[in-house]
Amino acid sequence: MENTRQISEQQLKVIRESVDIVDIISGYIPLVSKGKSFFGVCPFHDDHSPSMSVSREKQIYRCFSCGAGGNVFTFVMNYENINFLDAVKLIAEKAGIPLQLQEYSAPRQKKFETYYEIYDLAHKFYQNNINTAMGKDAKSYLTNRGLGSDVIKEFEIGLSLKNAEMLTKLLQKKEYSAKELVKTGLVNENEKGLHDVFYNRIMFPLWNLEGKVVGFSGRIYQNQDTAKYVNTKETDAFKKGELLYNYHRAKNEARKVGQVIVMEGFMDVIRAYTIGVTNVVATMGTAVTKNQALLLKRMAKEVILCFDGDEAGAKATMACSNELLKIGVTPKIVRLEEQLDPDEYILKYGKNQFCRKLENPIQVMDFKLDYLKQKKDFNNGQDVTVYIRQVLTELEKMDDPVLKELTIQKLSSETHLDPTFLKSQMKKPEDTPVHVEKKEVTTKQNKYQQAEKNLIYYMLISPEVIQLYQKHITYMPTKIYRMLAIQIACYYKDYKFISVADFMTSIQNDETMCNALNEILKLDLKEEYTLEQIMDYIKTIHEYGIQFQCKRFQEMMQTEIDPMKKAEIGQKIIELRKSEMIR
């Protein structure tokens, strides 16, 4: 247990009701009004057509493709990648409401708690080291590279010492098991026992999206004949493909200026900070994943790729731009001369020249044209044919008709082929395989589960249905629906009203229950109901209970030897079936 802060349910209700979910979400993504609802392209999956519905009446949103859903707090949490309390604070600030906080005890989030504790101890250990006499050489090395004390402090740079057992011994004193330490990627085990993975290296912490340390990158600084960088292995808490280096610092500035700059390495990001470029993140040298592309899409409208200036950097730019194009983002490109990376370029040419590069990025198709021309002999018909085919293939990935037309004109000028002919060689939309969004796989619902879900749907709308549930239902067959119905009834008892948006807030810590609620909301039943309709759901649920009891008694009869007891069980089955007929 730990001391934390909670906002009362009443205060949460006031904050939620002080804003309109349509206004808040439209500040992140464009929404279009259609009937009673608003629709937009879902930011939480690879969405090309508006599949997210936002209800002003219910103050909730849901995506019909990926299943994302919730209230205004949920949306801000997921879009901003922040926790619930921070989302509430952000909404309260927008509404101009001062928060009234009260102390309370709550269970800690346990999922990666041990990892976070160990990384935090290691982080403090490394930071302390660099500020001692033993860190003098490392600090001098960083200073000589243009990274002064302010940068060391800002990026929390530390030092692992030459003794390869110091961190291990420190962590063992805290009573962490060998298994726990090895799983973090900070400690190795061999025939001689446990020892530090990182030693005699400058340590750069790596953070998750919330700003918690989840790994490290250690760099040599005394010209040892070893790998230049050693990085923490992937763990349950550290998955490179789901993170962007410096995301937690850069997200606010990126949204403020409407632009995010993407680099490959963390040293590039740190160097950019030294010249005041702070809307910058890094992929940490890995191929950009769909998850990372979606993060970039949510950070800013304009994405600039500024990767290393060598062939590998060009290849990475090509791959990253295609990943972004898949989710509807058309990036711009900065290419650096002399095969320099951003860190080297800034050191050599300075702030002004680098910033001019950022201010004048090239269009993605101009970059692709240059990239695809490499090693092509334009006096060779075969090479020209391959080039044309490659460019047209890349154009087929583009949604922007203006950019397509400009590129066709450039390609026509280069190859002396008629633009109309070039267009005719592109695949027409009807020739392209239709992208079918993967739906959530669900098991076929039987009539009892459907009755449970329908009843809960109307419990969320009407106090009358909640009262009918309380009067007639003693047991619901499906555990998650049973728990959800109980929670709704308890919420109504406590607050004397029911609101889907507010109820969502009350269960936001229970992922299973939230998923079940979203599943029920996707039913999209008519708001109006009849008493006969509700009683029919209740009758169906009762029917399940009777059939369950009958089945249980039949199994008892099969194992019972005593004829008298067997007859008694048979009579109970008859009575149950009679009660079912009466209903």
Domain of 87, CATH number, reads 3.90.580.10
Which residues are 215's β-sheet partners? 206
The structure tokens 């726990």 sit at 180
Q: What are phi and psi of 390, to 5 degrees?
A: -65, -45
| DSSP-derived pairing of the beta strands 2-7 and 201-207 | unpaired
Res 268 pLDDT > 60: yes
Over residues 174-200, mean pLDDT: 92
91 and 50 co-located in one domain:
yes
The structure tokens 């909730």 sit at 60
pLDDT band at 381 (very low <50, low <70, confident <90, very high): confident
460 and 413 co-located in one domain:
no
61 and 146 co-located in one domain:
no
454 and 576 co-located in one domain:
yes
pLDDT band at 103 (very low <50, low <70, confident <90, very high): very low
478 and 546 co-located in one domain:
yes
449 in Cβ contact with 478 (< 8 Å)? yes
Give the chain's length: 583
Res 444 pLDDT > 70: no
In angstroms, the CA 80 to CA 93 distance is 15
**pLDDT attached to residue 104:** 38
**Closest by Cα among 349, 348, 337 to 313:** 337
Provide the 10 A C-beta neighbour count for residue 96: 7
144 and 206 co-located in one domain:
yes
In angstroms, the CA 358 to CA 574 distance is 82
Task: List, for residues 135-151, the tens digit of each pLDDT value.
Answer: 999 999 999 999 999 99
51 in Cβ contact with 42 (< 8 Å)? yes
**pLDDT attached to residue 440:** 41
471 and 513 co-located in one domain:
yes
Asked whether residue 441 is assigned to any structural domain, the reply reads: no
**pLDDT attached to residue 1:** 35
CB-based contacts of 48: which residues, under 8 Å, 6+ apart? 41, 328, 399, 435
Residue 402 token pair: 């203006």
72 in Cβ contact with 90 (< 8 Å)? no
Residue 33 token pair: 């009004």
Res 445 pLDDT > 60: no
426 in Cβ contact with 401 (< 8 Å)? no
Res 106 pLDDT > 50: no
In angstroms, the CA 70 to CA 546 distance is 36
42 in Cβ contact with 65 (< 8 Å)? yes
**pLDDT attached to residue 547:** 64
Asked whether residue 434 is assigned to any structural domain, the reply reads: no
Q: What are phi and psi of 216, to 5 degrees?
A: -145, 155
Residue 490 token pair: 């308890």
**pLDDT attached to residue 383:** 87
**pLDDT attached to residue 438:** 42
Over residues 107-136, mean pLDDT: 87
Task: List, for residues 220-245, the tens digit of each pLDDT value.
Answer: 998 776 778 899 999 989 999 999 99
Res 435 pLDDT > 50: no
What is the CATH classification number for the domain harbouring 229?
3.90.980.10
What is the CATH classification number for the domain harbouring 354?
3.40.1360.10
257-260 LR contacts (CB < 8 Å, sep 24+): 257/300, 258/300, 258/301, 258/302, 259/300, 259/301, 259/302, 259/303, 259/304, 260/296, 260/299, 260/300, 260/302, 260/303, 260/304
Res 107 pLDDT > 80: no
Asked whether residue 56 is assigned to any structural domain, the reply reads: yes
**pLDDT attached to residue 112:** 84
Rounded to the nearest integer, the mean pLDDT of the chain is 86
Residue 435 token pair: 């992208």
pLDDT band at 399 (very low <50, low <70, confident <90, very high): confident
517 in Cβ contact with 504 (< 8 Å)? yes
**pLDDT attached to residue 7:** 77
Look up the pTM and report it.
Answer: 0.73
Of 40, 72, 106, the last residue of a domain is 106
160 and 98 co-located in one domain:
no
Res 109 pLDDT > 80: no
Residue 473 token pair: 């239902």
In angstroms, the CA 358 to CA 332 distance is 10
In angstroms, the CA 219 to CA 160 distance is 10
453 and 540 co-located in one domain:
yes
Of 208, 238, 268, the last residue of a domain is 238
- pLDDT: which is higher, 285 or 435: 285
485 and 574 co-located in one domain:
yes
Task: List, for residues 475-522, the tens digit of each pLDDT value.
Answer: 788 889 999 999 999 999 988 888 899 999 889 888 899 989 988 988
Provide the 10 A C-beta neighbour count for residue 355: 15
pLDDT band at 447 (very low <50, low <70, confident <90, very high): confident
Task: List, for residues 152-175, the tens digit of each pLDDT value.
Answer: 999 999 999 999 899 999 999 999
Asked whether residue 436 is assigned to any structural domain, the reply reads: no
How many domains is the chain built from?
5
Res 3 pLDDT > 90: no
Asked whether residue 438 is assigned to any structural domain, the reply reads: no
Provide the 10 A C-beta neighbour count for residue 387: 21
Over residues 125-137, mean pLDDT: 95
Q: Roughly how many angstroms between the first and final C-alpha of the chain, as a whole number?
A: 50
Of 106, 129, 150, the last residue of a domain is 106
414 and 394 co-located in one domain:
yes
Asked whether residue 440 is assigned to any structural domain, the reply reads: no
Which H or E run contains 381? helix 381-395
Which residue range(s) make up the domain with 69? 2-106
253 and 335 co-located in one domain:
yes
